[in-house]
Structure 1
Amino acid sequence: MTSTATTPDPEVVDLADASVSGLLEQAAECEAVLREAAVHQLRIAYEWAIAHPVVDAAETARGPVLPSVLEAPETLGGPGTPAVAAFTAEPLAVACGIAPSSATALLADALDLHHRLPVLWQQTQAGLVAVWKARRVAARTRDLSLDAALWVDRHTAGRVGSLSLVALDRLVAEAAARVDGESLGEKEKSGRSQWDVKLKHRDPRHGGATSEIHAVGDTLDLTRFHDIVCAEAETLGALGDDDAFEVRKAKALGVIADAQARLDLTSLLSLPGAASDRDCADVDADQVTQVRRRLIERRDAKVRLYLHASLADITADTSGSVGTVERLGPVTLDQIKAWVGKARVTIQPVLHVASDDTWSVDRHDPPSRMAEQVVLRDSSCVFPWCSHPSRHADLDHVDPYEDPDEGGPPGQTTPSNLAPLCRRHHRAKTAGAWTYQRTAPGTYLWTGPAGITAIVTPTGTLTLGSSS
């Protein structure tokens, strides 16, 4: 078995004495090498995709059933591209040292460029278009029909390298309107299914005190809300807040949230036009009570933070102490105290265990205390390079659970035999495409197709190589 860890370091070029023109020449050479490598990676991805076609039932009946056919095939690219066997992306992800989602995108882009954007693919191979830009076109046209994608390919021939991203997006929209013929009303109707408000926590390396919120909804509603935010930001400025207007807009969200929390929401039921007990005698009184209860619960909603910090730091009155909040990353304790002062925040005590306890239960599902211990030990899915949070993952039995009624031994559910796996990689393990074993607390050795192996540790993932 070869190991990537033993690969010798490339020769380091001394640039200290290079001239200005020499540095520019080497920068250009480096860019050319990177472009060529990126194109070659797309070629590899395409060959990997077509090497894993969907196997039909007739073929499996004549030979051994491959692990991948135990799951439904996956269509990664747009219409007109071939489907691939389930879990095709995972071995490529491990070999490249990237997240499975990134490998899936790489395969999809390679399939689209070959089958839906042939002119763009030729220009990309010739070095006329940067790979990142070609992949952007592939991703943006993925939902279009094959004819619409080919229309974009024809009308961007020779222009992708010079077109701005906004211009490319406009061409994609034009193709959808001209070729696919979807009416504007249908688009508006389908767009409503995408309405959502999402809270995104930033890279923990940048600290956990700043997050992002992204809203997709009715244009009028969002415009009105943005106007309210801007008006509140202007009011803050008039009251002496000297932060930049953009910063005041972000702070205005907290002001609006505080004002909302102070509202007597139950009074909304007695406003003109609203249902009241007296005016709507035919309304079930229990229903009115339930509505009021839900409004109160929404007003009194709590925020739960899982804070990892030293008890001494928490009790000491010292500034600058740092703790870690799950999903947020490092946050100063001063910031935590400020949050507690303005919202109902529940601090969940966290017990750090040096090693797995030996306790076990004689049932499949672990008790909440055991599940919490596993989640605290492994913060994300333990598949190589997967970052899916363990709190939203399945807890898998590393050694498969056997029903005690059918001869299974007692005590199979224990922290040392549980590991968090996201639903996709739980399926990959169950289907037999991948196997893994636990070598130490928080450390797992994975083996996949073609004998590729990787080890996941608390500090990261390392690809060990392939036995083939």
Structure 2
Amino acid sequence: MESTDTHARDRVTDLADLAAGALLSEASDVEALLRVAEVHKLRVAYQWAIAHPALYACETPSGPTLPSVLTAPETLGGAGTPTVAAFTPEPLAVALGCSPAAASTLIADALDLHHRLPLLWDQTCAQLVPAWKARRVAARTRHLSVEAARWVDRQVAGRVSSLSLPALDRVVADAAARCDGEEQAHREAAARLSWDVVLTHADPHHYAGTSELHASGDTLDLIRFHDVVCAEAEALGALGDTDDLGVRKAKALGVIADAQARLDLASLLATGDPASHQAARQAARQAALGRRDAKVRLYLHASLAGVVAGDACATDSVEGIGPVTLDLVRDWAGRARVTVQPVLHVAADDRWSVDRHDPPPRMADEVRLRDESCVFPWCGRPARQCDLDHRVPFEDPGDGGPPGQTSPESLAPLCRRHHRAKTAGSWSYERVGSGTYLWGGPAGLSVLVTPRGTVALPRG
């Protein structure tokens, strides 16, 4: 390791002495190496997949048995690709130092390229197409039949490398629709299942006090709503708001939310019925008040001294959002109902316990605040979406189980998939400290998960 590091430092030092042409040549060499490496990674992923075929039945003295729900085979690629054994992506994810979801996608892309897009795969191996573009086509055609995918493969052959990303997506979508037109209506209907409005709290280091709202839905509805937002932003500008248009559009969302359901009172007044006018105003007012009373739960980690002192610039932290000033918290409090939640001292309360399987709400909150995500290596799924796993399997006290088996110390958040992996015996872990877990997996893998990062340990 030391000689490699020394060689790397020498190369970095040598770069300072290179002329412009030599630097460009070095950049070209690096890019070529990266392209070769990306193709080789796809080859490794494919080989790992076929080395772990699905096990549909196994022979026992009493006859063949089917896998349990915990070990059911997985279909990662599109139609026509081989299925793989349960939890095949996890060891590869640890080896690559990426999330299991990313490893699943890598395997799926490798399977699709080999079995469904052979022309594109050949061009990728020949360095005529970047691996990332080939993977893009694989992902965009995964829902198609084998025949349709092969048709798309022939249509995009020789064109992929010269297309920009949006143009590539359009070509693939057009080819898919042309060869599978009868399914277009079904895909449009299925796409409705993905409609949602999702609130995401962005990176608190760069976007303090700012969140993102992502909406997916009917194209016409969203165009119309966007037009309303833009019109409101223009109105704010006409009233003297000097912020940029983008900022005014974001502020317009708050205006729309507080605008008494955006009822067109002018059209209601045209009916000429004073009683109806009054009823409409009252209904709009109640609707607005109802939205103002919507509950928002925030866990604020604040200094009591800072709150009492009233320092507007005092900064504390909101769980799941990040650092915010108390002045911003006061602003939020003025626009929504606020419930004070006592602070949970997760370090001090680690050893209290109960004599039942399911933890009480306060204990569940404590564990999820201590471990903010699934504790499987590189998983990252938020703890609020996870099961709370008993590290030592729970034994009913009525059947002789010991008391106090459920405690913050004995619990850890695991997403449903990795809870299954642990229960099935594919992986095991032990707690070596607060928020720190040592995992063991197939092929002698050992991984240490800590609050500061995840580290793959040497085998053996």
* 1:21 Cα deviation after fit: 1.8
1:213 counterpart = 2:213: yes
Aligned residues: 441
Deviations 1:188-219 (A, max 9, x none): 43332222211222233323422221222223
1:390 counterpart = 2:383: yes
2:337 corresponds in structure 1 to: 344
What is the DSSP-based 3-state SS (H/G/I as helix, E as strand, rest coil) of the residue aligned with 2:205? helix
1:164 counterpart = 2:164: yes
Distance in 2 (alpha carbons) for counterparts of 1:7 and 1:66: 51
Q: 1:143 to 1:193 in 2, by over 3 A?
A: same
8 Å Cα contact 2:57/2:65 also seen in 1 = no
Q: 1:59 to 1:8 in 2, by over 3 A?
A: farther
Distance in 2 (alpha carbons) for counterparts of 1:314 and 1:38: 53
1:443 counterpart = 2:440: no
Q: 1:356 to 1:201 in 2, by over 3 A?
A: same
* 1:398 Cα deviation after fit: 0.8
1:429 maps to which of 387, 405, 422: 422
* 1:62 Cα deviation after fit: 9.4
Distance in 2 (alpha carbons) for counterparts of 1:360 and 1:376: 17
Stretch of structure 1 that moved more, 51-60 or 139-148: 51-60
Q: 1:59 to 1:150 in 2, by over 3 A?
A: farther
Deviations 1:325-384 (A, max 9, x none): 222222233322222222334453323333453221111111122212212211111111
Distance in 1 (alpha carbons) for counterparts of 2:61 and 2:225: 60
1:417 maps to which of 410, 418, 424: 410
What is the DSSP-based 3-state SS (H/G/I as helix, E as strand, rest coil) of the residue aligned with 1:161? helix
1:323 maps to which of 316, 321, 334: 316
* 1:319 Cα deviation after fit: 4.1
* 1:144 Cα deviation after fit: 1.3
8 Å Cα contact 1:74/1:84 also seen in 2 = yes
2:282 corresponds in structure 1 to: none
Distance in 1 (alpha carbons) for counterparts of 2:290 and 2:64: 56
Distance in 2 (alpha carbons) for counterparts of 1:459 and 1:191: 38
8 Å Cα contact 1:39/1:125 also seen in 2 = yes
What is the DSSP-based 3-state SS (H/G/I as helix, E as strand, rest coil) of the residue aligned with 2:448? strand
* 1:254 Cα deviation after fit: 0.8
8 Å Cα contact 1:261/1:300 also seen in 2 = no
What is the DSSP-based 3-state SS (H/G/I as helix, E as strand, rest coil) of the residue aligned with 1:205? coil
1:244 corresponds in structure 2 to: 244
Alignment of 1:11-410 (within 5 A): 11-12=8-9, 13=11, 14=13, 15-59=15-59, 70-182=70-182, 184-260=184-260, 300-410=293-403
8 Å Cα contact 2:374/2:386 also seen in 1 = yes
What is the DSSP-based 3-state SS (H/G/I as helix, E as strand, rest coil) of the residue aligned with 1:420? strand
8 Å Cα contact 2:353/2:405 also seen in 1 = yes
8 Å Cα contact 1:233/1:249 also seen in 2 = yes
TM-score by length of 2: 0.88
8 Å Cα contact 1:76/1:104 also seen in 2 = yes
What is the DSSP-based 3-state SS (H/G/I as helix, E as strand, rest coil) of the residue aligned with 1:29? helix
Amino acid at match of 2:125: Q
8 Å Cα contact 2:155/2:175 also seen in 1 = no
Distance in 1 (alpha carbons) for counterparts of 2:352 and 2:64: 41
Deviations 1:214-233 (A, max 9, x none): 22222332222111111100
Q: 1:259 to 1:58 in 2, by over 3 A?
A: same
Distance in 2 (alpha carbons) for counterparts of 1:403 and 1:309: 40
What is the DSSP-based 3-state SS (H/G/I as helix, E as strand, rest coil) of the residue aligned with 2:182? coil
Q: 1:67 to 1:19 in 2, by over 3 A?
A: farther
What is the DSSP-based 3-state SS (H/G/I as helix, E as strand, rest coil) of the residue aligned with 1:419? strand
Q: Identity of counterpart residues, as a percentage?
A: 66
Stretch of structure 1 that moved more, 207-216 or 24-33: 207-216
Deviations 1:51-86 (A, max 9, x none): 111012145679999999842211111111111111
Q: 1:379 to 1:209 in 2, by over 3 A?
A: same
1:290 corresponds in structure 2 to: none
What is the DSSP-based 3-state SS (H/G/I as helix, E as strand, rest coil) of the residue aligned with 2:107? helix
TM-score by length of 1: 0.86
1:284 corresponds in structure 2 to: none
Distance in 2 (alpha carbons) for counterparts of 1:356 and 1:27: 54
What is the DSSP-based 3-state SS (H/G/I as helix, E as strand, rest coil) of the residue aligned with 1:305? coil
8 Å Cα contact 1:55/1:69 also seen in 2 = no
Q: 1:262 to 1:367 in 2, by over 3 A?
A: farther
CA-based RMSD of the aligned residues comes to 3.0
Runs of at least 5 residues in structure 2 that lack an aligned partner in the other structure: 277-285
What is the DSSP-based 3-state SS (H/G/I as helix, E as strand, rest coil) of the residue aligned with 1:133? helix
* 1:186 Cα deviation after fit: 3.4
8 Å Cα contact 2:208/2:323 also seen in 1 = yes
Q: 1:7 to 1:369 in 2, by over 3 A?
A: farther
What is the DSSP-based 3-state SS (H/G/I as helix, E as strand, rest coil) of the residue aligned with 1:170? helix
Q: Which fold has the larger relative contact order, with Cα–Cα distance below 8 Å and residues 6 or more apart in sequence? A: 1
Q: 1:373 to 1:117 in 2, by over 3 A?
A: same
Stretch of structure 1 that moved more, 410-419 or 182-191: 182-191
What is the DSSP-based 3-state SS (H/G/I as helix, E as strand, rest coil) of the residue aligned with 1:303? coil
* 1:317 Cα deviation after fit: 3.0
What is the DSSP-based 3-state SS (H/G/I as helix, E as strand, rest coil) of the residue aligned with 1:369? helix
Distance in 1 (alpha carbons) for counterparts of 2:319 and 2:96: 28
